[in-house]
Structure 1
Amino acid sequence: MASKLTVVASLPGEPVMFGADFHHFRIGLALSEDAVVVFEERHGVRLPPDYRGFITTVGHGGPGRFGGAGPFYGLFSIEDWEWALLGDPNVTMLAGPFPAERGRVYEEWLAEATPGEDDEPYRGTLALSHQGCGDLSLLVLSGPARGRGVDTRPGKQGPHFTEDPDFLSWYERWLDVVLAGERHFR
């Protein structure tokens, strides 16, 4: 993974991948194990092992407005976890189970995901990257879909689960798309 990122970062010319002009394929320094433990304890969650390994060995966040080398406008710092929330963030939001189910069709996503007045539809997710136009890529931290990636979508249908089984698969697929010279990632 790190070697592919090095190759992508050294490609000649201007980046052609959408959003890369924000991060230029640079990623911030990896987090210490202690910093990750503090984050997990503060929020009452355990990060999925592959994501945890990535941010403690490859890198974390970065120089762009929305973070470092990653899909769309770049990977957020874990401290920017709350980007997807519709309500006010609090430290317990990541521990609550994400209400979406893979394969389920929602007639009215928000009404079904938030039956209570104080419910947050994107609880249990950590924002990974900003796709533009208000859409985000998220990592599910809590609930049955733990470890899966989802994309927010406007409208009634609710979030869309990516084809990737975990964060590393999603990130490597993005690297492969960049290496293939593609302009967009989906």
Structure 2
Amino acid sequence: MNDDQADPVELAALREAFGVDGCGASALGWERVRAFEAEHGVVLPEPYRTFVATVTDGSFQGPPEYGLLALAEGGGGQRLGEPFPLTRMWLWEQDDGPYEDPDAVIEQVARDGSIVLGTDGCGMDWHLIVSGPHRGHIWQITGEGAVPFGARFGHTTAEAGFAGWVRHWADGREWFDGPAA
């Protein structure tokens, strides 16, 4: 996973995965992507950055189940310049974690350093981390906790990052198809 430079092979796979989308969504273009980044004080991780600039800005087809949100929808209400606070899975319904004020951290998890990519419904939202140590990774955030997506974190055999997340979906695989970490 390289979150600083778009891989042409990954971009081709992303174009193919979303190529059947007849919803009319269009790419933002570089000028609008750069304006969004300047407004929010971040540089979006690759290949998502090039994807929204050149392929499409949102899609009615997945991933996730209810479609991919447009950049402004998923990032508009977030504090993107603040670092995402987690680096490992945390099920806050089972454990307060090592936090003095777990409720404050839970609020940060939902708001800081991530773009909401969309939802699978029932409060199961997918986020792309745009700042902090997990920049470029995908996390599923629910009312019960937060779990990073990618083989290195357990629960799935997929590659980490936006391209791995989309490829996993395009291959028709279950989200959590691996052993628990």
- Cα RMSD (Å) of the superposition? 2.8
Cα distance in 1, alignment partners of residues 38 and 132 from structure 2: 18
Give the C-alpha shift of residue 82 in structure 1. 4.8
What are the superposed Cα offsets for residues 10-65 of structure 1, whole Å, 9 maximum, x if unpaired? xxxxxxxxxxxxxx674611111000000000000100021011112221114x4x
Q: Is it true that 1:142 corresponds to 2:120 in the alignment? A: no
1-structure distance, mates of 2:133, 2:103: 14
In 2, distance between residues paired with 1:102 and 1:77? 27
TM-score w.r.t. structure 2 length? Answer: 0.71
What one-letter code is carried by the residue in structure 1 that aligns with 2:102?
E
Aligned residue pairs total: 150
Which runs of no fewer than 5 residues in structure 1 stay unpaired?
10-23, 84-88
1:1-186 alignment, distance < 5 Å: 1=13, 2-6=15-19, 9=20, 26=23, 28-62=25-59, 64=60, 68-82=61-75, 89=77, 93-103=79-89, 107-108=95-96, 111-112=101-102, 114=104, 120-122=108-110, 123-155=112-144, 158-163=145-150, 164-177=159-172, 185-186=175-176
The 3-state SS of whatever aligns with 2:143 is coil
1:91-135 residue CA offsets vs partner (Å, 9 max, x unmatched): xx100001111256752269436269xx63321010001110111
TM-score, normalised with respect to structure 1 = 0.69
Q: 1:59-97: per-residue Cα shift (whole Å, max 9, x none)?
A: 1114x4xxx5432111000111258xxxxx46xx10000
* % identical equivalent positions: 27
| Structure 2, unaligned runs of 5 or more | 1-12, 151-158, 177-181
Contact kept? 2:115, 2:127, Cα under 8 Å: yes
Moved over 6 A (4+): none
